[in-house]
Amino acid sequence: MGVAQVHTEPTNGTGSKPFTLCVFCGSSEGNNPRFRDAARALAKLMAKRSWSLVYGGGTIGLMGVLAGEVVTLQGPDAVHGIIPRALLQGGSAPAFDQFGRTTVVASMHERKRMMAEEADAFVALPGGFGMLEELLEMTTWSQLGIHAKPVVVFNVSGFFDGVFEWMQTAIRFGFISDAQLGLIGQARTVEELATIVTIRDVAPGRYTFLDWS
């Protein structure tokens, strides 16, 4: 399976398309109430800045908390969920007035491709295997020069500390370079997160010489 091509043109809230965050997070809430609080805080930040949300289309866990809060604060037009048909609960799309617009796709890969095309930046909240896979794929696409969009983790209660420890280990054993540490930004507050995703610093470790056209 080839790698999807992702648009890299920056957008902002002044044009016809609002600034859009793609958020990866768990279909569970986890066992720390700070995770749920972080999802709500992110939704409030997005409302303050009139940012839209594209996400995996779930209605439970942190996905449901985040999407529901964004709808409450900004209305359903601010949310676009993209979900594979196999993951639909009850076989029907979530209610528009509760979780925004939903697009049903055939595969996980199509879901990621569509989210990546729509997003201006990628943010990961705590989650499980699916969140981690999505985070690392967007990081890999950034490394390969497929996109130049910020990739950030909201490191609530040190949840992502292990990711950065692994990156240091990979550097020590010669699998990635020091320059590539910047491929994943780290925020511990919503204010830090807002700064990282809007400054749009491009990590020096990206392979800008590859032609994906």
- Using a pLDDT cut of 90, give the percent of the chain over it: 79
- Which CATH number among 3.40.630.30, 3.40.50.450, 3.40.1380.10, 3.40.47.10 corresponds to the domain 20-199? 3.40.50.450
pLDDT value at residue 134: 98
Measured distance CA(209)–CA(197) in Å, rounded: 24
Q: What is the pLDDT of residues 11-35, one digit of tens each?
A: 444 457 899 999 999 999 999 999 9
Q: What does the angle CA 75 – CA 78 – CA 79 come to, to the nearest 5 degrees? A: 105
With bands split at pLDDT 50, 70 and 90, how would you rate the model's confidence at 208? Answer: confident
Q: What is the mean pLDDT of residues 158-181?
A: 96
Closest among 207, 193, 54, 82 to 140, alpha carbons compared: 207
Q: Which comes out higher in pLDDT, residue 116 or 7?
A: 116
Measured distance CA(61)–CA(145) in Å, rounded: 32
Global confidence as pTM: 0.90
Q: What is the pLDDT of residues 32-55, one digit of tens each?
A: 999 999 999 999 999 999 999 999
Cβ distance 53 to 67 under 8 Å?
Answer: yes
